């Protein structure tokens, strides 16, 4: 009796299921019910597979968890796809609509594409007629690199084991760069990262191109290069993420590949970088809207190439605004909902021309309240620091100019009079009390410690660092006007001759 009921049920189920399947295969004629082969696969090819395929690109420093190439791979994700495209989480793109159409790596769907994916999921993810399917898309990186055959591949020194119990882990790794590997400065044409495992959630290598910590393969346009300095080690900030559990531990060793220009003669522009970093702030416990700002004024007529706003887990929003010498202003990039997971570089389709004297103002906002789901601890005061549980504020901006004049990607500015003492305090404050102690001060700065520590509490805090910056500025201005009047005297002297 029981068995019979089961059989009847099974028959009923198959009766219900069968017409549904039959209807599905006919759906290619029904415009209301898009099919995988006809409509959906084309959207996936155009907008998703660059990341969602085996060995997919590490764009924005993140590796997509599944392939969306074949029907069998895509089918189980149909509802999740509908949710993610409706919410705007996929494809990932965080610039405001005001800037749409300006950046060549923009990833967005139009309303019709969203409706198609949602209708497909609602209809039960029909497969459709294979005859409707587009040619499978081929990717230049299949089995290779998106940038083509690399001239140099640098690998993290040691394989790293991500333990079974790890869910989220942030670690720093290193690549030792010997003189054998990079015997002389090299002109870089392209850079591409390759994570060593799918548990690599993102990679940041500070200094690599400035615009490019762990992002799209960077392929500079012809004539544009950054310089890879001979014998300079790479530091990797790794974020691993996986389901914890027995047997889930994996070894991982990530890589970065370079292509170089054959000759310096092929290089017209050096990629220059302004970091628009600020260090002089703190986030009180629970504060939900703290702003930091920094600016860069262009010395020469320049072309802006790209932006990369960078904060950590408490990052909330970021904005770049240009103030032009004629008094007008313009929002260059607005990221109203910053997401630390996506280290997206916003690269112009057509480089943005700015006249000499243009001031770019960068603002970033943090949310240190319990309302921020990424906040690791809303009860603490947060200051500048390298771990993602501390904060940073950088508005990286790369640009070029005819003079090739400005800070270079792989070099420190090198000009000691350019030094920002608030940055020194932030970088050296190992004890994390908001002050630089004498034993934390770098060598040449120890001599000035007494002078900077005006309240004599044994530490240089941000207020004192700011005051010292002002003093440095005045000293520089005095020096400049002294040498200018020296110059005038000389010229007056020659006139008199």
Secondary structure (H, E, C), 162-202: ECCCCCEEEEEEEECCCCCCCCCCEEEEEEEEECCCCCEEE
Residue 276 C-beta: closest distance to ligand HEC, Å: 25
Q: Is 90 in the site for ligand HEC (CB under 6 A)?
A: yes
Residue 402 C-beta: closest distance to ligand HEC, Å: 34
Secondary structure (H, E, C), the chain: CHHHHHHHHHHHHHHHHHHHHHHHHCHHHCCCCCCHHHHHHHHHHHHCCCCCCCCCCCECCECCCCCCCCHHHHHHHHHHHHHHHHHCCCCCCCCCHHHCCCECCCCCCCHHHHHHHHHHHHCCCCCCCHHHCCCCCCCCCCCCCCCCCCCEEEECCCCEEECCCCCEEEEEEEECCCCCCCCCCEEEEEEEEECCCCCEEEEECCCCCCCCCCCCCEECCCCEEEEECCCCCEEEEEEEECCCCCCCCEEECCEEEEEECCCHHHCCEECEEECCCCCCCCECCCCCCEEEEEEEECCCCEEEEEEEEECCCCEEEEEEEEECCCCCEEEEEEECCCCCCCCCCEEEEEEEEECCCCEEEEEEEECCCCCCCCCCCCCCCECECCCCCCECCEEEEEEECCCCCCCECCCCCCCHHHCCHHHHHHHHCCCCCCEEEHHHCCHHHHCCHHHHCCCCCCEEEHHHHHHHHHHHHHHHHHHHHHHHHHHHHHHHHHHHC
Residue 84 C-beta: closest distance to ligand HEC, Å: 4
Task: Considering only residues 289 through 328, tell me which ones interact with ligand HEC, judged by CB under 6 A.
Answer: none
CB-wise, 109 or 190, nearer to ligand HEC? 109
CB-wise, 52 or 319, nearer to ligand HEC? 52
Residue 331 C-beta: closest distance to ligand HEC, Å: 24
CB-wise, 86 or 472, nearer to ligand HEC? 86
CB-wise, 64 or 317, nearer to ligand HEC? 64
The answer to whether the CB of 230 falls within 8 A of the CB of 182 is yes
Q: Which stretch binds ligand HEC (CB under 6 A): 2-10, 45-53, 170-178, 402-410?
A: 45-53
**Single residue of 51, 203, 267, 345 touching ligand HEC by CB under 6 A:** 51
Residue 12 C-beta: closest distance to ligand HEC, Å: 33
CB-wise, 59 or 205, nearer to ligand HEC? 59
Residue 162 C-beta: closest distance to ligand HEC, Å: 15
What is the distance, to the nearest Å, from the Cα of residue 177 to the centroid of all Cα atoms in its chain? 23
Q: Which stretch binds ligand HEC (CB under 6 A): 1-9, 42-50, 157-165, 480-488?
A: 42-50
Residue 131 C-beta: closest distance to ligand HEC, Å: 24
Task: Considering only residues 91 through 110, tell me which ones interact with ligand HEC, judged by CB under 6 A.
Answer: 91-92, 107, 109
CB-wise, 114 or 467, nearer to ligand HEC? 114
CB-wise, 65 or 183, nearer to ligand HEC? 65
Q: Is 359 in the site for ligand HEC (CB under 6 A)?
A: no
CB-wise, 260 or 340, nearer to ligand HEC? 340
User: Which helix (DSSP H) or strand (DSSP E) does residue 471 occupy?
Assistant: helix 462-496
Cα dihedral: 89, 94, 99, 104 (round 10)? -90
Q: Please tell me whether residue 360 adopts helix, strand or coil conformation.
A: strand
Residue 56 C-beta: closest distance to ligand HEC, Å: 7
The CA distance from 5 to 372, in Å, is 52
Residue 51 C-beta: closest distance to ligand HEC, Å: 3
**Single residue of 341, 369, 428, 469 touching ligand HEC by CB under 6 A:** 341
Each residue 109-128 as x (binds ligand HEC by CB under 6 A) or -, in order, gives: x-------------------
Residue 91 C-beta: closest distance to ligand HEC, Å: 4
CB-wise, 170 or 410, nearer to ligand HEC? 170
CB-wise, 340 or 449, nearer to ligand HEC? 340
Each residue 53-82 as x (binds ligand HEC by CB under 6 A) or -, in order, gives: ------xx-xxxx-----------x--xx-
What does the block give as tokens for 418? 């350019």
**Single residue of 34, 38, 39, 47 touching ligand HEC by CB under 6 A:** 47
Residue 62 C-beta: closest distance to ligand HEC, Å: 4
Q: Is 238 in the site for ligand HEC (CB under 6 A)?
A: no
Residue 199 C-beta: closest distance to ligand HEC, Å: 11
The CA distance from 272 to 279, in Å, is 22
Task: Considering only residues 239 through 268, tell me which ones interact with ligand HEC, judged by CB under 6 A.
Answer: none
| Size, binding site for ligand HEC by CB under 6 A | 22
Interacting residue ranges for ligand HEC, rule: CB under 6 A: 47-48, 50-52, 59-60, 62-65, 77, 80-81, 84-85, 90-92, 107, 109, 341
């Amino acid at each position: 009796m029981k068995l019979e009921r089961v059989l009847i049920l099974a028959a009923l189920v198959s009766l219900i299921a069968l017409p549904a399947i039959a209807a599905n295969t006919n759906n290619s004629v029904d415009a209301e019910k898009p099919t995988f082969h006809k409509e959906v696969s084309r959207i996936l090819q155009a907008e998703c597979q660059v990341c969602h395929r085996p060995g997919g690109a590490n764009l924005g420093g993140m590796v997509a968890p599944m392939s969306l190439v074949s029907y069998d791979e895509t089918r189980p994700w149909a509802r999740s796809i509908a949710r993610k495209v409706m919410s705007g989480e996929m494809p990932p793109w965080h610039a405001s609509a005001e800037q749409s159409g300006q950046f060549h790596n923009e990833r967005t769907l139009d309303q019709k594409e969203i409706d198609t994916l949602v209708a497909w999921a609602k209809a039960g993810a029909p497969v459709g007629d294979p005859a409707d399917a587009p040619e499978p898309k081929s990717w230049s990186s299949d089995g290779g690199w998106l940038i083509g055959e690399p001239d140099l591949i640098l690998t993290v020194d040691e394989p790293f084991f991500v333990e079974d119990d790890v869910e989220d882990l942030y670690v720093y790794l290193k690549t030792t760069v010997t003189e054998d590997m990079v015997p002389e400065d090299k002109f870089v044409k392209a850079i591409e990262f390759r994570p060593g495992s799918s548990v690599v959630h993102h990679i940041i290598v500070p200094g690599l191109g400035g615009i490019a910590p762990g992002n799209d393969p960077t392929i500079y346009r012809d004539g544009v290069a950054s310089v890879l300095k001979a014998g300079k080690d790479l530091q990797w900030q790794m974020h691993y993420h996986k389901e914890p559990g027995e047997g889930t531990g994996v070894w991982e060793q990530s890589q970065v590949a370079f292509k170089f220009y054959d000759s310096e003669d092929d290089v017209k522009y050096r990629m220059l970088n302004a970091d628009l970093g600020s260090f002089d702030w703190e986030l009180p416990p629970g504060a939900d809207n703290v702003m930091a700002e920094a600016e860069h004024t262009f010395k020469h007529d320049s072309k802006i190439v790209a932006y990369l706003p960078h904060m950590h887990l408490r990052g909330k929003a970021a904005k770049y605004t240009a103030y032009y010498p004629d008094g007008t202003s313009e929002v260059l990039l607005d990221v109203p909902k910053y997401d630390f997971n996506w280290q997206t570089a916003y690269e112009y389709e057509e480089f943005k021309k700015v006249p000499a004297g243009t001031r770019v103002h960068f603002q970033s906002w943090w949310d240190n309240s319990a309302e921020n789901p990424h906040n690791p601890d809303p009860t603490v005061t947060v200051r500048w620091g390298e771990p993602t549980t501390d904060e940073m504020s950088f508005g990286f901006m790369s640009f070029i100019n005819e003079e090739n004049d400005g800070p270079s990607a792989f070099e420190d500015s090198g000009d000691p009079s350019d030094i920002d003492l608030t940055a020194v305090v932030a970088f050296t404050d190992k004890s994390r009390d908001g002050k630089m102690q004498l034993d934390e001060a770098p060598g040449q700065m120890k001599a000035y410690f007494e002078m900077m520590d005006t309240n004599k509490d044994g530490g240089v805090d941000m207020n004192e660092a700011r005051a010292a910056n002002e003093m440095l500025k005045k000293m520089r201005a005095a020096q400049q006007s002294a040498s200018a009047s020296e110059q005038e005297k000389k010229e007056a002297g020659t006139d008199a001759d």
